[in-house]
Amino acid sequence: MYFWKCWRDNRTHFIVSLIALPALCVFFTVIAVRLGDPDAVRKGTPPSVIQAWSTTTEFILGGWASVFTLMWGLVLGASGLGEEFKERTADFLLVRPRRRRFWVWAGWSVGVTELSVMVFLAVGATFGTLTYMTGHVHTWRPLATTLPLAIGGTVVYGLTYFMTIVARSGRQGLSYGIGILFIDLLLPSAVSYYWNVNLPSILGFMMGACKWVTSPTAVFPVGGLVLWTLVALAFPVAAQLVLERAEV
Amino acid sequence: MNDLAIWTEELVKTYPEVRAVDGLSMNVPRGVAYGFLGRNGAGKTSTIRILLGLTRPTAGRGAVLGFSIGRDQVAILERTAFVSESKTLYGNLTPRELARFTQGFYPKWSDQAAAKYSRLFEIPMDRPFSKLSQGNRTKVYLMLALSQGADLLVLDEPTMGLDPLMVDEFLRVLVEDVVGEGYTVFVSSHHLSDVEQIADWVGLIDHGRLLLEARLDDIKSQFRLITVAGNALPQTLSPEILLVASEGNFCKYLVKKNADAFAAELNRQGATVAEVSPLGLREIFLELVRKEEACTSGNVGGITARISSSLS
């Protein structure tokens, strides 16, 4: 029943996003193709088609859809289990006969499922539109883009989810999550600029993975995927450790 | 220990600035209503939170329904219903949805009981919890707890916000449907009259320690407040003498049993016994937790020892 309750808490935002995100992806894809060379695209001239695909992939999925996913991860995480403390419902929930880790993993998995569904639909809408407009079908590569986007969203979601439990407040957890995300975005750029050392960044990973769709020379970022998957799983584990030791 | 619903032994809970529970040892028999009384900050809620695993004890041990606190927490929670002091539930859910949410956790959940209590307590089942009055929120909490089919009900200030009619109705339900069916009620409350109405046993806690644990019937039939005037009156407490306190020129003794024998012994020692009066729960509560100066007269140990031995 806790799964139902988690779904019940987010369902309005989720359904709105579920409609808005694919719609916006379709809209931006149409704009992106029209800003290129729509006649050539319509005729199926290979460079124009490739151009349309790479532009759309990089700027729509690698750009704003990634940011949207990260933002959604932040919002979703902030409404997670830690908010029970702020709302003073923790002493109702935590006396239900389940181990505390159940609450952590159940709440987290509902959020991950919602995020994944949204990402899948965004990617599907974008590449569906592209395929329809260009007449060119990329096979499994576009679908593989779902993975880094979903993992990226899950990392940020897990981070906020964890921070919300630590801070025992959704708002504070959100603030900490945004702060850490900014550090993750700015620090690698600064380190790379001054010392020429590449530090992993979640947005960089998501954008880079989207480039791989149309670049024949690019390699699928398996290492990054493994690294960020481990990071994504580390947050609920940390949240479990915190909650199991928490005094309510 | 199997005949006890709750037992604790030297339970301690310390926070950085306060010792909330200080060596609490109590025994709550199964199938009774047990009133857990104390002032604000006496340690009642901290004790309850330890029993339910919401917080960990600093020291000591205990068991609920035969399951060890901390180790068998899920087993305890499967058999225990809890009504917390805050009475806060999910604001966006209606009582009907809250019942649906709660029932999934308890195999012994009864839809019939939920329907019965929602009717009895006149709960608006389809209004969001956030839009309910304080009294209705309390009723929802009680309805959920009563429908769980729990062996033990732990109630922290359960009648808060209820009107007198509903309090009576709820207390009747506790006596008839819960204790009457052989289940245990552990109720923490400031409302002594409510507790007096339903409790078989009472435990009185102050500064984290149990000052008194007794059957309510024994309190009514045997506990006496003896008011005495005289010199060199006994000062020390014993298992039978729960309180020695001064009031003007008199000294008061709260005696657990054999009050007449104690009064006679005081008379024999040359003291004048002004009054031997029976006590209600309220008087005992006030006497035990009230801070008064001890009697100033001397010769402490000897007489008390003699009196205690003559009583036992």
pLDDT tens per residue, chain A (248 residues)? Answer: 889 999 888 888 889 888 888 898 888 888 877 776 666 666 666 666 666 677 777 777 767 778 888 888 999 999 989 999 999 999 999 999 999 999 999 999 999 999 999 988 888 888 888 888 877 766 666 777 788 889 999 999 999 999 999 999 999 999 999 999 889 888 888 888 888 888 888 888 887 777 776 666 777 788 888 999 999 999 999 999 999 999 88
- What SS3 class is residue B118? helix
Give Cα B288 distance to the centre of its chain.
Answer: 14
ipTM (interface predicted TM): 0.83
CA–CA min distance A230, chain B (Å):
30
Are B250 and B274 a contacting pair, CB within 8 Å?
yes
Question: Touching check for A34 and chain B: CB below 8 Å?
Answer: no
Indicate yes or no: CB of A247 within 8 angstroms of CB of B56.
Answer: yes
Residues of chain B neighbouring A1 (CB-CB closer than 8 A): 100-105
Query: Is there a contact between A8 and B100 if contact means CB atoms under 8 Å apart?
Result: no
CA distance B28 to B311: 26
Tell me the CB-side half-sphere exposure of residue A33, using CA atoms within 13 A: 25
Whole-number average pLDDT of chain B: 87
Interfacial B residues in 124-143 facing A (CB < 8 Å): none
A171 touches chain B (CB under 8 A): no
| B77/A95 touch (CB, cutoff 8 Å), yes or no | yes
- Render pLDDT for B263-284 as a digit per residue (tens, 0 to 9): 888 888 888 888 888 888 888 8
- CB contacts of B105 in chain A (<8 Å) are 1, 96-98
- The tokens for A27 are 């809209």
According to DSSP, the residues that pair with B214 across neighbouring strands are B202
Interface list for A 86-105 with B (CB within 8 A) = 87-89, 91-92, 94-99
Q: What are the extents of the domains in chain B? A: 4-215, 223-311
Strand boundaries in B231-307, DSSP class E: 241-247, 250-255, 272-278
> CA-to-CA distance for B259 and B278, rounded, in angstroms?
10
| Binary contact (B102, A1; C-beta < 8 A) | yes
Q: Which two tokens stand for residue A161?
A: 């989810």
Please list, in sequence order, all residues whose beta carbon lies within 8 angstroms of the beta carbon of residue B227, skipping any fewer than 6 positions away: B247, B250, B251, B252, B273, B274, B275, B276, B277
- Arithmetic mean of pLDDT, B133-157: 94
pLDDT of res. B306 = 39
Interface test with A, best of B50, B74, B152 (most A CBs within 10 A): B74
Q: What is the C-alpha separation between A90 and A162, in angstroms, rounded?
A: 16
**Tokens 């030791």 label which residue?**
A245
**Contact criterion met (CB < 8 Å) for A89 and B103:** no
- B87 phi/psi in degrees, rounded to 5: 55, 35
Nearest chain B Cα distance for residue A179, angstroms: 29
Three-state SS at A117: helix
Inter-chain touch A97–B78, beta carbons under 8 Å: yes
For residue B75, what is the nearest residue in chain A, using CA coordinates? A97
Tokens 């209004």 sit at which residue?
A: B127
More reliable by pLDDT, A208 or B141: B141
Angstroms from B137 CA to nearest CA on chain A: 13
Cβ of residue B89 closer than 8 Å to a chain A Cβ? yes
Contact at 8 Å (CB) between B251 and B245?
A: yes
Which residues, in sequence order, are CB contacts of B180 under 8 Å at separation 6+?
Answer: none
Lowest mean pLDDT among A123-132, B169-178, B209-218, B301-310: B301-310
* Residue of chain B whose Cα is closest to the Cα of A248: B54
First to last CA, chain B: 26
Q: For residue B181, give the DSSP letter.
A: G
| CATH code reported for the domain at B4-215 | 3.40.50.300
Residue pair B212/B27 in contact by the 8 Å Cβ criterion? no
Q: How far is B180 from chain A (nearest CA, A)?
A: 25
Q: Please give the pLDDT value at position A223.
A: 86
Distance from A1 to chain B by nearest Cα, in Å? Answer: 5
Give the residue-averaged pLDDT of B208-233: 87
Instruction: Give the type of residue at B2.
Output: N
What is the distance between the terminal CA atoms of chain A, rounded to a whole angstrom? 22
Q: How far is CA A211 from CA A61, A127, A200, A207, B190, in A?
A: 9, 14, 17, 7, 67
Tell which B residues from 191 to 230 touch A, by Cβ distance under 8 Å: none
Q: What per-residue confidence (pLDDT) applies to B95?
A: 97
Q: Chain-centre distance of CA B207, in angstroms?
A: 14
Using CA coordinates, name the residue in chain A closest to B100: A1
Site of tokens 């569904």: A117
